[in-house]
Amino acid sequence: MSLPLFPLNTVLFPGCILDLQIFEARYLDMIGRCMKKGEGFGVVCILDGEEVGLAPEGFARVGCEARITDFSQQDNGLLGIRVEGGRRFIVHGTSVQADQLMVAEVEWLEEEPEQPLQEEDADLMALLRALAEHPMVEALNMGTEATSQQSLANQLAYLLPFNELDKIDLLQLDDPQQRLDAIQALLDELQGELFA
């Protein structure tokens, strides 16, 4: 399956919302094609270097499909789009088109069945509710009320200030319980650093 790629300095997770401003011709064309066909594009995290002319090793091999849910002309004249994270994928190879748009051969990752929230998830649920009150999170209008371990893990992994490499590791985990355990471990690490 080939998918146009949009390398960014962020890691998108399924079910999470991202606002983007589009100004480069290749991405404006890509967005136009995606909207006409009702298809998404792939968001991969830039690991090193600038985005233009990215070497294949310059971005993460795991990414998330972005589905356009809204668009508007910004006051600054740029196209603003809002996307929601869809399926996760692994990049197997890339090619660069004449317009410098990168297209990847991707394999969709299987999602684990939804798992109900457990009693031991209560602290992480409370953390998500606290995050939801932050104006920047509120502006994303994500709902931030997790209905399953999957949505709790995805939203926390997306919203918490972990570094990109940790977020990429979280995105690669298939099991929502494993993802929640890894988030808790990262939080414990952060807390340890704060009080060291």
Distance from C-alpha of 169 to C-alpha of 38, rounded to nearest angstrom: 29
Looking at the structure, tell me whether residues 167 and 92 fall in a common domain.
no
Within 10 A of 173 (CB to CB), how many other CB atoms are there? 19
Decide if 113 is inside a domain.
no
The pTM for the full model equals: 0.91
Decide if 159 is inside a domain.
yes
Q: pLDDT tens digits for 161-187? A: 999 999 999 999 999 999 999 999 999
- The count of structural domains within the chain is 2
Looking at the structure, tell me whether residues 100 and 12 fall in a common domain.
yes
Looking at the structure, tell me whether residues 34 and 86 fall in a common domain.
yes
Q: What pLDDT is recorded for position 50? A: 54
Decide if 114 is inside a domain.
no
Within 10 A of 21 (CB to CB), how many other CB atoms are there? 12
Looking at the structure, tell me whether residues 182 and 130 fall in a common domain.
yes
In the chain, % helix, strand, coil (3-state, to 5) comes to: 40, 30, 35
- Helix (H) / strand (E) containing 79: strand 79-96
Contact 63, 172 (CB under 8 A): no
Looking at the structure, tell me whether residues 60 and 157 fall in a common domain.
no
